[in-house]
Structure 1
Amino acid sequence: MTDTPARPDRDPELRITHISETPWHEVKAQSHSGRRTSVWEKFLEWTPERMVIYARYDAGVIVERHGHMSEHYVFVIAGEVLIGDRPCPAGTHITLEQGAVFGPLIAGPEGATLYEIMAGDPRAFPADREGFQALLAERDITPLPNPPVPWPDWLEARTDGNPGADNTTKA
């Protein structure tokens, strides 16, 4: 039996990252009756093969119903997030197969901390833009432009835009 590397263009690597070594990036922002709430992410790994994120959702932040262009796995570490009508407290695991959709995601009163893995292209696609706009209006929430993130050159522009946002913004 021969050992075959995971990628034929290079030898397999061992990478170890601690969340304290990785900065937070604000990736989505909203105004909740004048109070800024956000989704924050630490990119633990971001390669063409996978994206690994340690995420923090501020209390009450809402992420629209959406899917991803890859398999997406989520583990709720702390707090709670409502996914559609399903409460997902700490300890909940979510598998989103490529092309499947979920949401809206609504962070609980203490917010939520998530560990996420995407196997391939991590870009999101909206699944119910009209319903999301209605939910935001009902709760007096205004989406703010996507903050700049350290978007890799090899990945195409963001697909998860919001009204008035520049979806190609890179840090």
Structure 2
Amino acid sequence: MTDREPELRITHISETPWHEVKAQSHGGRRTSVWEKFLEWSPERLVIYARYDAGVVVERHGHMSEHYVFVLAGEVLIGDRPCPTGTHITLEQGAAFGPLIAGPEGATLYEIMCGDPRAVPDDREGFERLCAERDITPLPNPPVPWPDWLAARTDGNPAAEGTAT
């Protein structure tokens, strides 16, 4: 709870820039996760996200509760297909994934309540999956990270020093 007055905030996605937050090379083709940060405060992070076709996000959890709604396309979470209209609740401490975007990619609406940083859950499994699919993870692109939030926890040690 804060000492500030409650306020109304209205944001339209057209007023918010895209940020590339994850990047991979799929046999030489750059594939990414893109996010629009609709709200980013210590209390919550609200994201409008776009996953390029075939992008793979490692199995992970978050340091807060995380809610996801699939607006368009499809994402495979583990072995579960999650098409348009799917809602996902990830309680703090739980993990999901790997997440694999479908052939048309996926558009997601996400809310995290508290610290949104990712906690990798199966780095070795992710590395095997990438090798099987000829995917090379690239370093995390720069993101307008708030000063009040500690450093990212989802770095890719295999990609350190790799050019983006």
CA contact 1:124–1:160 (8 Å) conserved in 2:
yes
Please list every run of 5 or more consecutive structure 1 residues that lacks an aligned counterpart in the other structure: 1-6, 167-171
How far, CA to CA, are the matches of 2:37 and 2:2 in structure 1?
Answer: 25
Q: After TM superposition, where is structure 1 displaced by more than 3 Å over at least 4 residues in a row?
A: none
Q: Please, what TM-score do these two structures have when normalized by structure 2?
A: 0.96
State the Cα deviation string for residues 80-132 of structure 1 (Å, max 9, x = none): 00000000000000000001000000000000000000000000010000000
The amino acid across from 2:74 in the alignment is E
1:122 and 1:21 mapped to 2: Cα distance?
22
The amino acid of 1:54's aligned partner reads Y
The root-mean-square deviation of aligned C-alpha atoms, in Å, is 0.9
Structure 2, gaps ≥5 residues long: none
Q: Contact (CA 8 Å) 1:61, 1:107: kept in 2 or not?
A: yes
Q: Paired residue for 2:138?
A: 144
Instruction: Give percent identity, aligned residues only.
Output: 87
Change (3 A) 1:86 1:56: same
Aligned to 1:113: 107
The residue type equivalent to 2:44 in the other structure is: R
Q: Deviations over 1:24-43 (max 9, x none)?
A: 00000000000000000000
* CA–CA separation in structure 1 for the residues paired with 2:4 and 2:90: 29
Partner SS state of residue 133, structure 1: helix
- How many equivalent residue pairs? 160
Pairing 1:1-171 to 2, within 5 Å after superposition: 7-162=1-156, 163-165=158-160
TM-score normalised by L of structure 1: 0.92
Q: Which moved more, 1:8-17 or 1:84-93?
A: 8-17
